[in-house]
Amino acid sequence: MIRHAWHFYYALGLVIKVVCVGFCIALFTP
């Protein structure tokens, strides 16, 4: 279970990064 934990956190971090970038683009785009 711990062996697959890094893959889960990696995917979670990737999703958070994409959401943050998308939010920043939407925020700075008129």
pLDDT of amino acid 1: 63
Q: Would you give per-residue pLDDT tens digits along the chain (30 residues)?
A: 677 888 999 999 999 999 999 999 999 987
- CA separation for the pair 20, 5 (Å, rounded): 22
Domains of the chain, residue spans: 1-30
Show the tokens assigned to 25: 């683009």
CA neighbor of 19 nearest in space, from 9, 30, 29, 27: 27
